[in-house]
C-alpha cells in the first residue's frame, strides 16, 4: 500500500514539476490557435469541448493501463510497477504534450 501512495505522489509531482519544465522548454503560447480552430472542416479538424478532449485522452491512457499493468506485473514482477509509473511521467505524458504542441506549431 505504501508503494501505491508513493506512485500517486510521483505522478502528481511529475505533473507539477516535470510538466512545468517541459512547458518552459517548449514555449507554449496560450494565444496561438490549434489546427482544429484554424483549419476547421467539420470532418478531420473539429474543435472539441474541454470535457470531450479530456475524455479522449483519458480513455487512450486508462484503457490500456489495466490490461498492460496486469500482464507486465505477472511477467516481470514489481519492477513493472516502477516502469508504468515512471514511464507515464517521463515518456507518455511528454509524448502526448509534445505531439499536441507540434501539431499547433506545424499545423
- What are the pLDDT digits (tens) for 40-96? 888 888 888 888 887 777 776 666 666 676 677 777 777 777 777 877 777 777 777
- Kindly give, in sequence order, each residue whose CB lies less than 8 Å from that of residue 38, ignoring residues fewer than 6 positions away: 107
- What are the pLDDT digits (tens) for 17-33? 888 888 888 777 778 78
Relative orientation angle of helices 65-76 and 50-62, to the nearest 10 degrees: 20
Amino acid at each position: 500500500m505504501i508503494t501505491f501512495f508513493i506512485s500517486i505522489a510521483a505522478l502528481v509531482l511529475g505533473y507539477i514539476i516535470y510538466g512545468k519544465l517541459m512547458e518552459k522548454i517548449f514555449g507554449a503560447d496560450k494565444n496561438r490557435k490549434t489546427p482544429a480552430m484554424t483549419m476547421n472542416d467539420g470532418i478531420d479538424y473539429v474543435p472539441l469541448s474541454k470535457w470531450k478532449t479530456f475524455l479522449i485522452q483519458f480513455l487512450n491512457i486508462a484503457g490500456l493501463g489495466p490490461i498492460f499493468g496486469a500482464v507486465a506485473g505477472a511477467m516481470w514482477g514489481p519492477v513493472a510497477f516502477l516502469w508504468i509509473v515512471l514511464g507515464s511521467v517521463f515518456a507518455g505524458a511528454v509524448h502526448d504534450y509534445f505531439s499536441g504542441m507540434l501539431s499547433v506549431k506545424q499545423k
